[in-house]
Amino acid sequence: MTEPTVLATFATPSLVAPDHQPAPSSNPLRLGLLASGSGSNVEVIAQAIASGQLNAQIQVVIYNNPTAKVAERAERLGLAKLLLNHREFASRAALDQAIVAALKAHQADWVIMAGWMRIVTQDLIDAFPRRILNIHPSLLPSFPGANAVEQALKSGVKITGCTVHYVELAVDSGPIIIQAAVPILPNDTSEALHQRIQVQEHRIFPLAIALAAQSDAAIYGE
């Protein structure tokens, strides 16, 4: 049985079908990806670009954990990668300043947090205003922060999901771009629910990037 998925977006007044494609921009988006873990969303974005679903190119993948599997994934995909180990920086601001410098050196215009497990500072936000996107495994504003899947299970809600949103200083607080709903099944485990949420993450993230770019072009011009 295929579970229902509900998508909502700022781009149209109606619900957007999962296979909806926004009008393409003439110039490829130049993406800088930030990741801390396995990097499955990095690969999904790369696949969306290769298939023509997303008109973009990945300039660099920055990761903060030396053992993160995303490094191997980026290597296999032929993507430029850079380790900025957060433990080697004196403060969050110092890390973000290094990230900004690296993103600008690689000519990235958009920052995509594809499983980035660090709280950002104003340094990063100011460097890329309205151009930083994050994906979170809940239907925000419910269950922000860490352990969102476990929070949903503990709360007893019947539906959770995932959200792509603009990044602001407060954690998981920025304007929502798109969401996908995932029902919580009887006797669900954290692992099982997280896997089903991740399926929806992979469906909506490339679409959310395209929608954000389309909105940006409409407001500011290409």
39 forms beta bridges with none
Residue pair 181/5 in contact (Cβ under 8 Å)? The answer is yes
DSSP string, 77-96: HT--EEE--GGGSSSHHHHH
The catalytic residues are 136
Name the H helices within the chain. 40-51, 70-77, 92-105, 122-127, 148-155, 190-220
Q: Which class for 221: exposed (0-12), middle (13-18), buried (19 or more C-beta within 10 A)?
A: exposed
